[in-house]
Amino acid sequence: MQSQPLGGSAATAAVRRALLRSVAGLLVGAALFVAGGLLGSAIDGRRADLLADGVRVSGVVVGVVERSRLASGSVEVRFAVDGQERVRSLVLVVPDALPRVGELITLFYDPADPEQVASAQAGTEPPLELTAAHLGAFVAAVGLTAAGAVLTGRWSRRLFAVRRHGWRSGTATAEAGALRVNLDVAGVVVVETHRAPARTGRVLLGGTTGAAVLVFADGRVVSGRELPGRVPD
């Protein structure tokens, strides 16, 4: 026995929930942008703290890695802490001219962790966990914000369309890349879907040509567009 489609109010509510999920994804993406900015500030703050409160010491440049399109460049510096010489690699963070090998450089290190060093031009790499979190937050923010914006626009148009044009009941059957909807009143509509539905059956078809939406009896919502020029077999 075929299940009956939802009523119009329930179908509209299902479209509204799809819109809210899209908005939630957009907001999460925006929040991740903020989190990424805070992590970036934390990375910059570590170097600022060293310049303000670190132990000042004179060092010498012993190696230089030129800047490239993919890397900001770095310098290797030698300095002494309590009479013991150390060599650290510092990543350049300002677009000044690169220092030369043999050039003296003023450094600031953390007395509790002398491996953490900074200069006016460069600083040691932040912890891997902090760098990974910063990069991960940025990548996730871009993906979620882009997808959320697209889906929010898509479901906003469809919610407006179903409120304006209402719903038509029918039975959907799968075709290649589309659904064929045999309407109860009369006629057949072919809908190209944005994703292939898992199964077919009784549906409500709402919206209009460019902003169509199908709601199945189980509440599943599928967006698409009607193909008015396509003649069903």
Beta strand 167-175 with 122-123 is unpaired
Is residue 150 a contact partner of residue 67, using CB atoms and an 8 Å limit?
A: no
pLDDT for 152 equals 94
pLDDT for 50 equals 84
Query: CA of 184: how far to CAs of 161, 162, 171, 213, in Å?
Result: 20, 18, 8, 17
- pTM, whole model, 2 decimals? 0.69
pLDDT for 186 equals 79
For residue 72, which of 50, 49, 89, 52 has the smallest C-alpha distance?
A: 89
pLDDT for 70 equals 55
How is 32-82 classified by DSSP, letter by letter?
A: HHHHHHHHHHHHHHHHHHHHHHSEEEEEEEEEEE---SS---EEEEEEEET
Is residue 90 a contact partner of residue 122, using CB atoms and an 8 Å limit?
A: yes
Query: CA of 17: how far to CAs of 11, 186, 221, in Å?
Result: 10, 30, 10
Is residue 2 a contact partner of residue 202, using CB atoms and an 8 Å limit?
A: yes
pLDDT mean for each 10 residues of the chain (233 residues): 69 93 94 88 80 89 76 82 87 74 89 85 72 86 94 93 92 83 88 71 89 89 78 48
pLDDT for 67 equals 67
pLDDT for 60 equals 92
Q: Which two tokens stand for residue 161?
A: 């369309």
Residue 178 DSSP SS3: strand
Strand partners, 179: 174, 191
Residue 11 DSSP SS3: helix
pLDDT for 94 equals 67
pLDDT for 71 equals 60
Residue 10 DSSP SS3: helix
